[in-house]
Chains A and B, each alone.
Chain A
Amino acid sequence: MATQAHSLSYAGCNFLRQRLVLSTLSGRPVKIRKIRARDDNPGLRDFEASFIRLLDKITNGSRIEINQTGTTLYYQPGLLYGGSVEHDCSVLRGIGYYLESLLCLAPFMKHPLKIVLRGVTNDQVDPSVDVLKATALPLLKQFGIDGESFELKIVRRGMPPGGGGEVVFSCPVRKVLKPIQLTDPGKIKRIRGMAYSVRVSPQMANRIVDSARSILNKFLPDIYIYTDHMKGVNSGKSPGFGLSLVAETTSGTFLSAELASNPQGQGAAVLPEDLGRNCARLLLEEIYRGGCVDSTNQSLALLLMTLGQQDVSKVLLGPLSPYTIEFLRHLKSFFQIMFKIETKPCGEELKGGDKVLMTCVGIGFSNLSKTLK
């Protein structure tokens, strides 16, 4: 009998996205218990519920069972469906929270995904839409996911706590992915950035730009930071400003850093100059960590390597983030795949910290949802 593959069981709400995404891709049901069981406010939060709803929207035949208190979740994945979808994200988390998972799933849909996400585009917790657009999309292109319809458009900006932003993400579908060999990060040839301000003085952005340049100019002359001031309905519901920086290397890898102002009514006011400077420093930190993939996108790269054909893929990463480490563990339990991890100490060369070379053989994943014509 083709019985359902035995389900995996986890406890705690952390890494919920990873688990659900991997469950969807591997077809194995997953059971998550004790979601904030000891918390004063137990159970799933709004943003998690919203995420589950989003998964339900883009899949067909998924079964989701949540108990009364919301502390236990059983998810039996269906097949990825895609198509035109609209989703109102919770304002508790940024759109990046949802978009990160969508980036993992979008290439394996039945119909090309075209999704409109509404909510907070830039916040302090999640990778912002700008950063994902600048780093994750080129990364996906390395795996052969490309085409006219592959784009992420920011229609409206929304800052926390009000939100009101809107992005459109569309992605073509692929049957198989290409293996990658990203072992040479190259040298940084240009730095680009986006200083945005909504519902505050447009001058803020300029102040941010100046301060950020003052630090980065010591390393590289080719720096350009765009200012983006959204007005009217495009500016969302709350005021705020921020900066995201992206460094591009000669071999086409992108490293990013970002910082956003405190949400209205939370914490002290931030000076744009400080923000710009801090953000530039964060970028330098990121460059110090190095690697061919941005630290926020490590897990995405590793996932797509896993889902490749049965060929060797290699990628050079900076130090692994805790999120990535947990992701690797999950990859092992869902796909029985282990990465060969080699630490590449960075001797006398002035190229930042230690790097990690990750190598794996793809599992030969093929998109089971795509229709054969």
Chain B
Amino acid sequence: MEAKDQKKHRKKNSGPKAAKKKKRHLQDLQLGDEEDARKRNPKAFAVQSAVRMARSFHRTQDLKTKKHHIPVVDRTPLEPPPIVVVVMGPPKVGKSTLIQCLIRNFTRQKLTEIRGPVTIVSGKKRRLTIIECGCDINMMIDLAKVADLVLMLIDASFGFEMETFEFLNICQVHGFPKIMGVLTHLDSFKHNKQLKKTKKRLKHRFWTEVYPGAKLFYLSGMVHGEYQNQEIHNLGRFITVMKFRPLTWQTSHPYILADRMEDLTNPEDIRTNIKCDRKVSLYGYLRGAHLKNKSQIHMPGVGDFAVSDISFLPDPCALPEQQKKRCLNEKEKLVYAPLSGVGGVLYDKDAVYVDLGGSHGFQDEVGPTHELVQSLISTHSTIDAKMASSRVTLFSDSKPLGSEDIDNQGLMMPKEEKQMDLKTGRMRRKAIFGDEDEPGDSDDEEDDEMSEDDGLENGSSDEEAEEEENAEMTDQYMAIKGVKRRKLEELEEDGEMDLPAFADSDDDLERSSAEEGEAEEADESSEEEDCTAGEKGISGSKAAGEGSKAGLSPANCQSDRVNLEKSLLMKKAALPTFDSGHCTAEEVFASEDESEESSSLSAEEEDSENEEAIRKKLSKPSRVSSGQKLGPRNLIDETSDIENLLKEEEDYKEENNDSKETSGALKWKEDLSRKAAEAFLRQQQAAPNLRTLIYGTVTEDNEEEDGDTREELGGLFRVNQPDRECKHKADSLDCSRFLVEAPHDWDLEEVMNSIRDCFVTGKWEDDKDAAKVLAEDEELYGDFEDLETGDVHKGKSGPNTQNEDIEKEVKEEIDPDEEESAKKKHLDKKRKLKEMFDAEYDEGESTYFDDLKGEMQKQAQLNRAEFEDQDDEARVQYEGFRPGMYVRVEIENVPCEFVQNFDPHYPIILGGLGNSEGNVGYVQMRLKKHRWYKKILKSRDPIIFSVGWRRFQTIPLYYIEDHNGRQRLLKYTPQHMHSGAAFWGPITPQGTGFLAIQSVSGIMPDFRIAATGVVLDLDKSIKIVKKLKLTGFPYKIFKNTSFIKGMFNSALEVAKFEGAVIRTVSGIRGQIKKALRAPEGAFRASFEDKLLMSDIVFMRTWYPVSIPAFYNPVTSLLKAVGEKDTWSGMRTTGQLRLAHGVRLKANKDSLYKPILRQKKHFNSLHIPKALQKALPFKNKPKTQAKAGKVPKDRRRPAVIREPHERKILALLDALSTVHSQKMKKAKEQRHLHNKEHFRAKQKEEEEKLKRQKDLRKKLFQIQGQKERRNQKSSLKGAEGQLQ
């Protein structure tokens, strides 16, 4: 038997072993060496057809170009912000554990409790911000917009859940961040084969969703409640080396994922009105694009705000300074998570925070029993209550389960299957694919077979049992975890309770420190104008930067001369002075004068000498320029600026006074006004500091000042003071031409010479001068050797070349050394030429794409280099705050609920808005109902969109574009087709993706994403139309002309539609001609054929519909803690009807009525005689008996009467009619009479009967009496006889 069971050996035909064998075989035949078939068989690869070859070439080129991405300018900053890693997954899949493990892996620190984003340094050049994403769809949407990398956790023991797919679709819409799958709960598989199968199945499903080959990580199991170190380490490595492609929305908008929030509202305001709008400061790394001060931002879940202030702070989680080592040391492994209470020392504008985290950091690993006890202690609600609550959830979900059994038209759509964890009472939304189960089953079967064959395992039942066991175990485990989790939440709550108090108590401290800061600033700027102290300070430092640049890097000189410390000191001292020193050239002169004087007066310190030197340097170029008499400037403008400059002058002098009182500075103070005047004169000639001129004196609407200048006269009239210079300016001529105020005399030679070099006829720069360039070329290309012929061409060709050659030959003989050197030179030249040729040749093949790429690269380089040398304070003014900075953003007028209901688990995102993205208008988009969404969408049903940063509810109208460009309203979205959608809402740039959901509150059955699409157009008006048919009826018909009424109400309306095409229902086309006088609204129309009175005439028109201006931002973050996923906005009419029990009033005509069919009566078939005759016999009607022939004698002859007779007959007729009438009457009477008689008779009879009855009665009475008497007498008689 056994021998029979054994399989016959089959030779392998494929696989590595077979290939090896084959190769060996080929080698034996001595063919294997030539692996290239092209070589082995050249004839087969010869060109057969040029056309085909061209085609194949085209094809390969097409494929090549398909791979190109359009090049974009690389705008990533040098020090990029941390990468946002979103850890997403359904509940209880192990997100928090994974985050904890990752943090521990990177930083060797253990965070017990994670709230909000955690920033860590993961490598020499990379930081990560890890944030957990729960299952609230609001959170999922928000985080998908800011994510760089998504770690998608999947419970392998359970399979995919709906949230995973929802999140993937959200990601797809809002730009696709990198997505990495992580399979957890793999230890619950006991059976290895099962595990393998599951892995494979999940992997392939994941690939279809993301992209084939997407990375899927396997976390095989837990050790002491944590994932295995090696696996986490590998995952960490993957994250650290991952590369990212820039996403359009993210790179074009600045955004901040806030990791800290402080309430800055005045406590007094809160005390008086607890609901007052708050002022908050939010902290976080700036990402994406540059953010400018005072720009508009949107906080998803809260609303739109304007940044009231923004400042950058030192990086709390900075990258290591030097990068010489291979790995980070422990000190550099920073972690920063203020919402979780981690971050060590914090510096910011308002205060310094020191975290003494040690007390929490050393919590021991808690054993399961301990945990249980803990959980028991920490539970507040009774078990009964919990049970009750769990039952409630069970009840609410059991209903939709039944409805989902219906399959959805065989799409690859995940079916949702609600599964309950009995222990935790949690509902899991399993996503099941139709195709998955079957192969799985078959696999199982195969497995079974195999196992049977092997004789290792028993049946499948054992397996199942085992699985169940596993499941139970996991459930148990989950239950424990759940309890722990709850405990944690409670802890968090405590923390939250503490948090506001902390903020409040800190407020005073903060403010005081801010004041201090200001004071310091004030000190630094030493009596600058007290207003706009901050700005001035900035501009001062900026000017200092410029000064240092202009002055041929004086800082360098300084550092050469004095040591570092001193230079630092000096910088501080020089800061304010430099500021105004460079402000205007004349000031520099003034200071120079002053310093010259002072130097003559007293010995100065080294520092001041340095300063002086720098100043001199500074002044030199400007002096030169001043000599040249600069382009004349508009006088008006200058005069307006004089005051300013004078003021500055004074300030500057005061400063100097402060700093150099020892050097006898009082001397120049004597005649300030004179000097000022001088300075002004000089200013006219010299180039002013344009920056302060332009930006220093920005005045918008100076009404307040005006108010002050006015004086009241007698309390009634106002003295209208003459306008100041600037007022004149405000109303002067608006002209862009730059008039020449003081023209040069262009007849003078020197004036003419001043622009000589502007012309091609003038002198050129060295690098562009044609003569010089030519000369250089000569050097390079002058001599060359024709390699083919071996001739050597000499650059200097002339009549004496030959002579030279001869001479050379002679020389050669004489000087072998020289010859050698010449050879060397020659070789060098050749090499150079070759290099150039190579370079040119390689470059020569550059395509358009390469050029474009090069251009982008150049631009990127320029972007980086332009502001590199400036300090951040100045840089921020030009570029805005650049991504990568840690910034503090102040926002005012935030709703109080935001602060009161602050939940650190929810991400707070500040999304920057572009220009006019804060405005509202009509947005048109291309929309497609999601193929997994089971319903279709209805026009005018409120729906929640997620577009750009925003989530909001609005009322869209769906439309479709006809071939002629008409946008026709649709009542519902098409099932499987794109349609247009238009709504009134915030303007978002075209090309932005969006998604729509019906509701964000709670858990809905099935897939939640209703539709996706892209924004197409923005406008302030919209033209969506719906069809409107006007009907009318003809009331008079001529040949082809008819008079129609009932379509319009007035002649005016008709006039509007003259010439319009009309049609009858039967299809006769016509045209409106002209209105008729009566009846009102009737018109004459001509048709292509004659109408019938029964025709209905109609006209197709289009009626524009209006879009309801409804825009309602989803303010989910303002909801109370724990209720943030319960936001609900406007309800649909359907929901309202359901809630209020209002049924839709049906149109009476639309109702179904019983169909009554009349019995159809058919006439008998009559076949004409002729036809009958022609019919063959069998078809002739036979059933009807032929009327028999009446014999002649029985036929009555026709009677023809004479007129006389006819008269008689007529008379007889009339008489007989009269008679018959008489008879009839008589008969009637008789009848009546008879009736009467009959009645009378009946009465008589009745009476007779009655009488007889009475008689009989009497008779019987008498008879009876008689009998009684007889009886009595007989009795008496007997008695009597007896007596």
Partner of A350, one of B693, B734, B755, B915: B755
Q: Which residue of A lies closest to B992 (CB)?
A: A372
Q: Which residue of B lies closest to A373 (CB)?
A: B1016
Contact A9/B989 with A1-B1113, A336-B292 known, Cβ cut-off 8 Å:
no
Residues from chain B with a CB closer than 8 A to the CB of A231 are none
Residues from chain B with a CB closer than 8 A to the CB of A356 are 690
The answer on a CB contact under 8 Å between B764 and A345 is: no
Distance, CA A14 to CA B735, complexed state (A): 9
Distance, CA A329 to CA B862, complexed state (A): 25
Q: Which of A220, A290, A322, A332 has the largest count of B CB atoms less than 10 A from its CB?
A: A322
Residues from chain A with a CB closer than 8 A to the CB of B1014 are 372
Residues from chain A with a CB closer than 8 A to the CB of B991 are 372
Partner of B702, one of A11, A15, A77, A323: A11
The answer on a CB contact under 8 Å between A187 and B759 is: yes
The answer on a CB contact under 8 Å between B727 and A353 is: no
Instruction: Let me know if A320 is at the binding interface, CB within 8 A.
Output: yes
The answer on a CB contact under 8 Å between A110 and B1019 is: yes
Query: Which of B80-88, B513-521, B875-883 sits within the interface?
Result: B875-883
The answer on a CB contact under 8 Å between A61 and B921 is: yes
Q: Which residue of B lies closest to A343 (CB)?
A: B687
Instruction: Let me know if B306 is at the binding interface, CB within 8 A.
Output: yes
Q: Which residue of B lies closest to A24 (CB)?
A: B916
The answer on a CB contact under 8 Å between B637 and A366 is: no
Residues from chain A with a CB closer than 8 A to the CB of B867 are 340
Instruction: Let me know if B701 is at the binding interface, CB within 8 A.
Output: yes
Q: Which residue of B lies closest to A100 (CB)?
A: B736
Residues from chain A with a CB closer than 8 A to the CB of B919 are 2, 4-5, 27
Instruction: Let me know if B625 is at the binding interface, CB within 8 A.
Output: yes
The answer on a CB contact under 8 Å between B746 and A281 is: yes
Instruction: Let me know if A271 is at the binding interface, CB within 8 A.
Output: no
Distance, CA A97 to CA B296, complexed state (A): 32
Residues from chain B with a CB closer than 8 A to the CB of A148 are none
Query: Which of B525-533, B552-560, B737-745, B797-805 sits within the interface?
Result: B737-745
The answer on a CB contact under 8 Å between B862 and A181 is: yes
Distance, CA A339 to CA B874, complexed state (A): 11
Contact A329/B694 with A310-B290, A336-B294, A364-B914 known, Cβ cut-off 8 Å:
yes
The answer on a CB contact under 8 Å between A365 and B915 is: yes
A293-334 interface code vs B (CB 8 A; 1 in, 0 out): 001101100000000011110100011111111001100110
Q: Which residue of B lies closest to A51 (CB)?
A: B734
Residues from chain A with a CB closer than 8 A to the CB of B304 are 1-3
Give, as a whole number of angstroms, the nearest-CB distance from A323 to chain B. 5
Partner of B731, one of A12, A215, A329: A12
Residues from chain B with a CB closer than 8 A to the CB of A78 are 1020
Q: Hey, which bits of chain A sit against chain B, CB under 8 A?
A: 1-6, 8-17, 25-28, 33-36, 38-39, 60-61, 77-79, 97, 100, 110, 125-127, 179, 181, 185, 187-189, 215, 218-221, 250, 281-282, 284-285, 287-290, 295-296, 298-299, 309-312, 314, 318-325, 328-329, 332-333, 335-343, 345-347, 349-354, 356, 359-361, 363-366, 368-373
B598-632 interface code vs A (CB 8 A; 1 in, 0 out): 00000000000000000000000110110010110
Distance, CA A156 to CA B451, complexed state (A): 96
Residues of B621-673 whose CB lies within 8 A of A:
621-622, 624-625, 628, 630-631, 633-634, 636-637
Question: What are 27 A-to-B residue pairs whose CB atoms are below 8 Å?
Answer: A2-B986, A8-B700, A11-B701, A12-B731, A17-B734, A27-B916, A33-B701, A33-B703, A38-B723, A60-B1021, A61-B1020, A77-B916, A125-B735, A126-B736, A179-B859, A309-B73, A310-B75, A319-B633, A319-B738, A323-B737, A340-B867, A341-B694, A347-B624, A352-B754, A352-B758, A361-B863, A368-B915
Residues from chain B with a CB closer than 8 A to the CB of A187 are 757-760, 762, 764
Contact A366/B760 with A38-B720, A287-B755 known, Cβ cut-off 8 Å:
no
The answer on a CB contact under 8 Å between A10 and B701 is: yes
Q: Sorted from nearest, which 9 A-B pairs have the closest CB atoms?
A: A27-B916, A61-B1020, A12-B730, A321-B738, A319-B631, A295-B738, A336-B292, A2-B986, A372-B990
Contact A322/B1020 with A328-B694, A368-B990 known, Cβ cut-off 8 Å:
no
Contact A126/B735 with A329-B694, A366-B914 known, Cβ cut-off 8 Å:
yes
Partner of A289, one of B625, B631, B757: B631
B668-681 interface code vs A (CB 8 A; 1 in, 0 out): 00000000000000
Residues from chain B with a CB closer than 8 A to the CB of A288 are 631, 744, 754-755, 758
Residues from chain B with a CB closer than 8 A to the CB of A28 are 916
Residues from chain B with a CB closer than 8 A to the CB of A325 are 637, 690, 693-694
Main secondary structure on A side of the interface with B: loop
Distance, CA A1 to CA B920, complexed state (A): 10
The answer on a CB contact under 8 Å between A9 and B622 is: no
The answer on a CB contact under 8 Å between A219 and B756 is: yes
Interface size on B, residues (CB 8 A): 100
Distance, CA A297 to CA B758, complexed state (A): 20
Residues from chain A with a CB closer than 8 A to the CB of B735 are 97, 125-126, 323
Instruction: Let me know if B732 is at the binding interface, CB within 8 A.
Output: yes
Q: Which residue of B lies closest to A278 (CB)?
A: B743
Instruction: Let me know if B1167 is at the binding interface, CB within 8 A.
Output: no
Residues from chain B with a CB closer than 8 A to the CB of A215 are 746
The answer on a CB contact under 8 Å between B730 and A14 is: yes
Distance, CA A142 to CA B792, complexed state (A): 47
Q: Which of A332, A346, A360 has the largest count of B CB atoms less than 10 A from its CB?
A: A346
* Besides A61-B1019, A323-B735, 13 other A-B contacts (C-beta < 8 A): A5-B296, A33-B703, A77-B916, A188-B760, A310-B289, A332-B695, A343-B687, A345-B622, A354-B628, A361-B866, A369-B1018, A372-B1016, A373-B1016
Distance, CA A266 to CA B921, complexed state (A): 49
Q: Which residue of A lies closest to B1014 (CB)?
A: A372
Residues from chain B with a CB closer than 8 A to the CB of A125 are 733, 735, 737
Q: Which residue of A lies closest to B745 (CB)?
A: A281
Instruction: Let me know if B752 is at the binding interface, CB within 8 A.
Output: yes
Residues from chain B with a CB closer than 8 A to the CB of A16 are 734
Distance, CA A319 to CA B687, complexed state (A): 9
Residues from chain B with a CB closer than 8 A to the CB of A14 are 729-734
The answer on a CB contact under 8 Å between B918 and A372 is: no
Give, as a whole number of angstroms, the nearest-CB distance from A98 to chain B. 12
Distance, CA A310 to CA B862, complexed state (A): 12
Instruction: Let me know if B456 is at the binding interface, CB within 8 A.
Output: no
Contact A363/B915 with A125-B737, A187-B757, A310-B75 known, Cβ cut-off 8 Å:
yes
Q: Which residue of B lies closest to A323 (CB)?
A: B736
Residues from chain A with a CB closer than 8 A to the CB of B878 are 338-340, 359-361
The answer on a CB contact under 8 Å between B758 and A287 is: yes
Q: Which residue of B lies closest to A187 (CB)?
A: B760
Q: Which residue of A lies closest to B1115 (CB)?
A: A1
